[in-house]
Structure 1
Amino acid sequence: MFRIEKILCILLFLCLFAQLARAQEPISPKLIWAVNKVDLGTLLEEQGIQVAEFQFTQTQDSLFYIESVVTDCGCTTVNYTRDTLQLGESGTLQVAFDPSSGAGFFSRMIVVKGNLMGVQDTLYIEGNAIPRASDPVGTYRTRKGNLGFRLAKVNVGEVFTNEPKVKQVEVFNFGNKPFYKDSLQFSAPEYIQVMQLTDSILPNDRGLLQVVYDGAKKNDLGYFEDQISVNWKDSTTFIQLDVLADVFEYYAPFAKENLNLVPQLVITPKEIDLKTISSGTIRVENVVLSNRGRQVLEIKKIQGNCECLKLELPKTSLDPGESIQLKVVFDPKGRQGIDQRNIYIFTNDPVNPVQMFLLKSRVE
């Protein structure tokens, strides 16, 4: 009897072990999508319906077909491959979006269900829809030649060095001649490219320009303001655009267990309050920078937000456990009232590649 029970226990253990092994095996997706999100960018209402296309490949031995597709908004319609697909065959799914359905940023979800068990994939389309302006003069208040802009400057925002940042800019033609895409010319640093997205910008109509900012080609970090020139060969319009950007180093994600192995910057203190000071007295303070990590810390740049600051470092490389003093010289001449200076430190600390400390005062 004891032997039978022992055999049953062993069989039960083997069954449980087999189930656990199967549960731990990686689940391969039944459909491989080329992308699961499409950014349609900036869409003008008058551009009409825009279509995003998703491509997929069937990876199972069984025959596959799409049973249903559900979207979360009536502003989208879907068309997809209705054939039955064998292993290795591909299909497409097209999502049509109506930009007149609403204004501003949008993110729409599409759920795809197939005939095979476990096939229920989620796709997304996103972008920014801009309706027509009822008052062009009041909407496009910044005039550059015959072109009107909503804002005085083009703010690209945060730019990382792993990929260029794209910014689309809406413009309105207040002139009596069109601006054609193939006649656009520009003069800019090599890290900034400009193009016209719409084929033409007709009189009393609007179009889209696109600014592409390449952080890797910029080869510098921090806040920048560049001025670029744009003109059209068949037009007398010659405009200048101010392009703003914050450039940051990109660091790929890494495993949590490696957190203590990378460089780690610690700033002491994070805030200095000078209290009430005289505008005629230069103040000198020291901030301690320490490397608490296990690899060499490289200080790539220190940037203040005012010419009234002078920042001095004895060295830019810190060994593990090493500390140095950053000398901060603040000249409050010409300043008055509550004052706050931001100092940014750019390093190869992958967790916090940019850190800031404050210098506060009240200048009399």
Structure 2
Amino acid sequence: MRRNYALIAVMIRFATAPLIILVLFFFPIWSYAQSTGGPKLIWKVNRLDLGTILEEQGLQKGIFEFSNTQDSLFYITDVLSECGCTTVEYTRDSLELGESGKLIISFDPTSAAVFFSKLIVVKGNLSGIKDSLYLEGISVPYPSDIKRAYPVVQGDLGFRLKKVNMGDVFDNEPKIKYVEFFNMGDQLLDKGAFRSQTPPHIQISQVQQFVRPQERGLLMIRYDGKIRNDLGYFEDQVPVSWENIPGSEVKLDLIADLFEFFPPIQKSNLNDVPQLFIGQKEIDLREISSKTLARRSVTLTNKGRQTLEIRKIQGNCECLKIEVPKSSLAPGESMELSLTLDPIGRKGIDQRNIYIFSNDPLNPVQLIVMKSRIE
């Protein structure tokens, strides 16, 4: 019996040993996680976009502001940068609770081409403070061949492209884009004399105070989707000029795709939102005559638990006629979308796109493709 008890004791000891080792192994990690806590500094922003920078503009500065949220005195002990293209200045005084400081990053644009994102790590005297900041932007090198770099010429200005593509513009915040140009004339372009005839949703301004002859400049374009209050693809032609220079007017062609912004949805709420289901997303008309109208219908269904609202339906051609009987669908309700293609004057392989904008937050824009071969 004693031998059995001894054997059992040995077995228990060896069985519990791995468990003890595991506890000892994970305990330091768990203790570290408990001690680190949340962030101890409040940064106004931790990612700063310098926008588009021309190489000849020289050093560019970005300012990060922070506040001390701890009862203890705080000061920065070290700032680390991933490359030598940045230099750092920062508040070296000790900060009490609620006091603020600044960290100024100077960036050399000759060190990067096109998009850049530079990491800056800030260390403090208090345990656990090691914050990451990012300085971003687009650096444009000076071209070796001016005429080749700016082939689109309007008056005395050279541009890289015929149209300014604003890309996707959402209604929750304005989209900002910088457009570079080259002053090929012999007149000084003064920011104070710059004028633009823009609609309410577009604002254009000259970035530099002066752009001298044979120098590059930047125009800042601000496109506000909320003010435009529409959805889909749009083109705008905006005249700009300098009032002190006769004949200086040029026309900027802007294109943009406007979308409604939907905030992220929790996984538990996915089934509660409106859901647009399209019965047929690709319609193949096969061979059709250019003298005959082609008609089809597509079923739209709301498979969600909230009312589905059709914000807009947009085709990519005036040859398409789209008829929708109503603009909203109750949960479980369906309707027929009527499509009519007028192929007159067309020949060969043809494809028409129909975009449906709705308040379905998971699929706010859906596409129907209509294909055909016109004889």
Note whether the superposition's TM-score is higher than 0.5.
yes
In the TM superposition, what is the alpha-carbon distance from 1:112 to its structure 2 partner?
1.1
Instruction: Indicate the residue corresponding to 1:76 in structure 2.
Output: 86
Q: Which residue, 109, 130, 136 being the options, matches 1:120?
A: 130
Alpha-carbon distance in 2 for matches of 1:264, 1:198: 48
Alpha-carbon distance in 2 for matches of 1:27, 1:332: 66
Question: Given residue 57 of structure 1, which amino acid in structure 2 is its aligned partner?
Answer: S
In the TM superposition, what is the alpha-carbon distance from 1:115 to its structure 2 partner?
2.0
Q: Which residue, 329, 342, 363 being the options, matches 2:353?
A: 342
Identity %, equivalent residues: 57
Deviation readout 1:289-319 (Å, 9 max, x if unpaired): 1111111111010001111111000101100
Q: Which residue, 136, 146, 149 being the options, matches 2:146?
A: 136
Q: How does 1:37-116 map to 2 (within 5 A)?
A: 37-116=47-126
With over 3 angstroms needed to count, the CA separation of the structure-2 counterparts of 1:324 and 1:26, relative to structure 1, is farther
Alpha-carbon distance in 1 for matches of 2:281, 2:127: 55
Q: Which residue, 194, 199, 202 being the options, matches 2:204?
A: 194
Question: Given residue 255 of structure 1, which amino acid in structure 2 is its aligned partner?
Answer: Q
In the TM superposition, what is the alpha-carbon distance from 1:334 to its structure 2 partner?
2.0
Alpha-carbon distance in 2 for matches of 1:278, 1:68: 74
User: Does 2:199 match 1:167?
Assistant: no
- The alignment of Structure 1 onto Structure 2 pairs a total of residues equal to 344
Q: Helix, strand or coil for the counterpart of 2:277?
A: strand
User: Does 2:56 match 1:36?
Assistant: no
Instruction: Indicate the residue corresponding to 1:301 in structure 2.
Output: 312
Alpha-carbon distance in 1 for matches of 2:33, 2:138: 42
- In structure 2, the gaps of 5 or more residues are 1-29
With over 3 angstroms needed to count, the CA separation of the structure-2 counterparts of 1:154 and 1:315, relative to structure 1, is same
Q: Which residue, 302, 321, 330 being the options, matches 1:319?
A: 330
Deviation readout 1:127-169 (Å, 9 max, x if unpaired): 1000111111111111111111100111111111111111110
Alpha-carbon distance in 2 for matches of 1:229, 1:153: 13
Alpha-carbon distance in 1 for matches of 2:81, 2:282: 50
Alpha-carbon distance in 2 for matches of 1:218, 1:98: 37
Q: How does 1:267-278 map to 2 (within 5 A)?
A: 267-278=278-289
Q: Helix, strand or coil for the counterpart of 1:251?
A: coil
Instruction: Indicate the residue corresponding to 1:10 in structure 2.
Output: none
State the structure with more CA Rg. Answer: 2
Alpha-carbon distance in 1 for matches of 2:64, 2:41: 12
Q: Helix, strand or coil for the counterpart of 1:216?
A: helix
Runs (4 or more) in structure 1 with deviation over 6 Å come to 22-26
Instruction: Indicate the residue corresponding to 2:260 in structure 1.
Output: 249
Deviation readout 1:80-104 (Å, 9 max, x if unpaired): 1222222222111111111111210
Alpha-carbon distance in 2 for matches of 1:335, 1:114: 69
Would you say the 8 A contact 2:274–2:308 is kept in 1? yes
Would you say the 8 A contact 2:36–2:128 is kept in 1? no
Deviation readout 1:163-209 (Å, 9 max, x if unpaired): 11111100111111111101111112111111100111111111001
134-143 vs 82-91, which deviates more?
Answer: 82-91
Would you say the 8 A contact 2:43–2:64 is kept in 1? yes
Deviation readout 1:42-85 (Å, 9 max, x if unpaired): 00011000010101111112222222211122211112122222
In the TM superposition, what is the alpha-carbon distance from 1:262 to its structure 2 partner?
1.1
Q: Helix, strand or coil for the counterpart of 1:87?
A: coil
47-56 vs 80-89, which deviates more?
Answer: 80-89
Q: Which residue, 178, 194, 201 being the options, matches 1:184?
A: 194
Instruction: Indicate the residue corresponding to 2:11 in structure 1.
Output: none
Q: Helix, strand or coil for the counterpart of 2:351?
A: strand
Alpha-carbon distance in 2 for matches of 1:113, 1:340: 58
Q: Helix, strand or coil for the counterpart of 1:188?
A: coil
Question: Given residue 243 of structure 1, which amino acid in structure 2 is its aligned partner?
Answer: L
- In structure 1, the gaps of 5 or more residues are 1-19
Would you say the 8 A contact 1:29–1:59 is kept in 2? no
Over aligned residues, Cα RMSD in angstroms?
A: 1.7
Alpha-carbon distance in 2 for matches of 1:148, 1:254: 45
Q: How does 1:341-360 map to 2 (within 5 A)?
A: 341-360=352-371
In the TM superposition, what is the alpha-carbon distance from 1:336 to its structure 2 partner?
2.2
User: Does 2:250 match 1:239?
Assistant: yes
Alpha-carbon distance in 2 for matches of 1:183, 1:220: 32
Q: Which residue, 217, 227, 240 being the options, matches 2:237?
A: 227
